[in-house]
Structure 1
Amino acid sequence: MALKCDNIFVNLPVKDLEKTKEFFSKIGFEFNAQFTDKNAACLVIGDNIFAMLLTEDYFKTFTKKDLSNAANTTEVILALSADSREQVDEIVNHALAAGGSPSNDPVDHGFMYGWSFQDPDGHLWEVMYMDPGHVE
């Protein structure tokens, strides 16, 4: 049997936790208060998908490596699925209005549509919609 995990927790270092929480709240995301304190905030992305937003000092307690500066380098692009093209635009427009930065222009492949933004720390977020009929 193949290995299967039930949840994903992506850990991201952030410079200003309160600013980051405000940013994602303005987009429409919520936080799990049980796993949120002065060092970390648990961003609820989906039923089993979470981003742990950790202050840089706290993040450093989990690794011996240097932190990358997401404003200058990219280690990961976080891709989120949307229910429609309109929801892609809604999420990215909310992110930009909340203080996020543009990443790439919208990309339309007909059956797949995506657009991306950078959060206040420079982490890249790709929001995409794929026509379910095309996958079948």
Structure 2
Amino acid sequence: MTAFLEGDGLLHLREDMAVERMIFPNLPVADLRRSTEFYLGLGFKQSPQFSNEDCAAVIISDTIVVMLLHQEFFSGFLPEGDTPHLRAAGKEVVNCLSCDTREEVDTFLANAAQNGGAVFQPAREQMPGMYSGAATDPDGHVWEFMWMDPSIPE
């Protein structure tokens, strides 16, 4: 099964296509509207059929859908006694999204800053052929945007 976004803004699932793994990062958020607007401001689309007052499905690509879950709703998916850590001092994961060009890295970082996020690692050449920068969303979730030069030999 694979998923794809049509012009109608809906996420469509197809059984007749090659099986591709999908990833659905579930992120707890304090303000669902603010967080959704942040991701839409980065240029992503929302899937209305998988969004409601408790969650928003944000389509990053055909195989990546970020699920923004209001923190109380998110808590229902955790072991009893666990709570979501919004804006916690420690970070558990860095979400890294590949970009097609260096300019796309710069655009993502600029859009993050303009839509309620914070750039904490300006874009730079990490090593020859790898250009990246990182920002947090309004809830402190870390996103790295990275371009790798396809002409660098393996």
- Please confirm whether the aligned pair reaches a TM-score higher than 0.5, indicating the same fold: yes
**1:33-72 paired onto structure 2 within 5 Å:** 33-64=48-79, 65-72=82-89
Output the amino acid matched with 1:107: R
Alpha-carbon distance between aligned partners in 1 of 2:128 and 2:33, rounded to the nearest angstrom: 38
Alpha-carbon distance between aligned partners in 2 of 1:24 and 1:111, rounded to the nearest angstrom: 27
Q: What is the CA-CA distance between 1:57 and the residue it aligns to?
A: 0.2
| Match status 1:79 vs 2:96 | yes
Provide the secondary structure at the position in 2 that maps to 1:78.
Answer: strand
| Match status 1:117 vs 2:132 | no
- Equivalent residues of 2:30, 2:86 under 8 A apart: no
Aligned residues: 133
* Structure 1 vs Structure 2 CA RMSD: 1.5
Alpha-carbon distance between aligned partners in 1 of 2:73 and 2:21, rounded to the nearest angstrom: 25
Structure 1: 4+ residue segments shifted above 3 A: none
| Match status 1:127 vs 2:142 | no
Alpha-carbon distance between aligned partners in 2 of 1:135 and 1:76, rounded to the nearest angstrom: 29
Q: What is the CA-CA distance between 1:71 and the residue it aligns to?
A: 4.0
**Higher helix share goes to which structure?**
1
Alpha-carbon distance between aligned partners in 2 of 1:135 and 1:57, rounded to the nearest angstrom: 47
Tell me: higher relative CO, structure 1 or 2? Use CA pairs within 8 A at least 6 residues apart.
1
Q: Which runs of 5+ in 1 are unaligned?
A: none
Q: Name the counterpart of 2:15.
A: none
Q: Name the counterpart of 1:18.
A: 33
Q: Deviation per CA, 1:26-79: give whole Å up to 9, x if none.
A: 111111111000000011111111110000000000012222233422011110
- Equivalent residues of 1:13, 1:53 under 8 A apart: yes
Q: Deviation per CA, 1:80-121: give whole Å up to 9, x if none.
A: 000000000011101111111122232302300000100000
Q: TM-score, normalised by structure 2?
A: 0.81
Alpha-carbon distance between aligned partners in 2 of 1:135 and 1:125, rounded to the nearest angstrom: 27
Q: TM-score, normalised by structure 1?
A: 0.91
Percent sequence identity is 38
